[in-house]
Structure 1
Amino acid sequence: MKQLIRFLLVGAFNTGFGYCIIFFCMYVLKISPEESNVIGYAIALGVSYALNRRITFESNEKRTGEILKFLLVFLFAYSANLLALIFLFRVLHLEKGVSQVLAGIFYVCVSFLLNKYYVFKAPISE
C-alpha cells in the first residue's frame, strides 16, 4: 500500500510538472501546442522514471534495462487506457468525462502493477 501511495503522489507531482513545461513552452517560448506537448511529455516521462525508481520502488538495479522496460510499460498502459476509453465511451456510451476518469484509473492500475512486478521488481533472494 505504501508503494501505491508513493506512486500516486509521484504521478500527481509529475503531471503538474509536465503541464508546467508544456505551458512554459507554449506561452513563454512561443512553441506550438503540439511541439510543447511532445517536449513536456518527454521530459515528464524521464522525471517519472527517475522519481519512481528512487522514491516509489527504491530500485538499485541497472538503469539500462529498466529504462527500456519503463518505456514499454508506458506504451502498454497508455494503449490500455485508450482502449478502455474507447470501450467506455463508444461501446458502453458512458459520459465522456466519466469515461476519461475511469480509463485514467485503469491506466494507473496497469502502470503501477507492471512497474512494480516487471520494471522495478526486487531481485529474487537466493
Structure 2
Amino acid sequence: MRIGASLLRQFVGFAAVGSVGLAGHYLVLTGLVELQSVDPVAASVAGFVVGGLINYALNRRLVFRSDRAHSAAGPRFLAVAASGLVINGALMTVLVDWLEIYYLAAQVTVTVGLTVWHFALNKYWTFGD
C-alpha cells in the first residue's frame, strides 16, 4: 500500500511539473499554427521539443530527485523524448490529417497517453537507480 501511495504522489508531481512543459508545448503549437500558419503536425513537433527541454530540468530536480549524472540521464531522457516525439508525430498525423480531428483535441488525446508513457520510462530507466 505504501509503494502505491508513493508512486501515485510521484505521478501527480510528474503531471504537475509536466504542466509547465505542456504550457510551453501548447504555446509554441498554437502560436505557430494561429500566428504563423504552420502545419499543425510540424507545430506540434516543435512544441514537443520545447516542452521536453523544460521537463528534463524539472523532472530531474523536483520529481525524481535524481543524482544520476547528466551524461548518463541526458541521453536516456533524449531517447525517451525521441520515442515520444515519434509517437506524438504519428498519432497527430493520424488524428489530424487522416481522421480530420481538430488539432487541439487531437493533441490533448495524444498528451494523455504520452504522460503515462513518459512517466514510466523516466522513472524506471532515465532517472531510476
* TM-score normalized with structure 2 length: 0.64
What's 1:72 paired with?
A: 79
Contact 2:20 2:54 in 1 (8 A): no
Structure 2 distance, partners of 1:77, 1:57, is 19
Q: Which has the higher helix share?
A: 2
Structure 1 distance, partners of 2:47, 2:85, is 16
In structure 2, the gaps of 5 or more residues are: 1-7, 29-35
Among 95, 104, 108, the residue aligned to 2:101: 95
**Could you tell me the percent identity over the aligned residues?**
25
Structure 2 distance, partners of 1:41, 1:100, is 10
What's 1:51 paired with?
A: 58
Contact 2:20 2:55 in 1 (8 A): no
In structure 1, the gaps of 5 or more residues are: 23-31
**Residues 1-126 of structure 1: pairs in structure 2 closer than 5 A:** 1-16=8-23, 45-89=52-96, 93=99, 95-96=101-102, 97-121=104-128, 123=129
Contact 1:73 1:111 in 2 (8 A): yes
How much does 1:99 deviate? 2.5
Number of aligned residue pairs: give it.
Answer: 110
Q: Which ranges of 4 or more aligned residues in structure 1 deviate by more than 3 Å?
A: 15-20, 39-47, 87-91
Structure 1 distance, partners of 2:110, 2:49, is 22
* TM-score normalized with structure 1 length: 0.66
Structure 2 distance, partners of 1:40, 1:85, is 13
How much does 1:46 deviate? 3.6
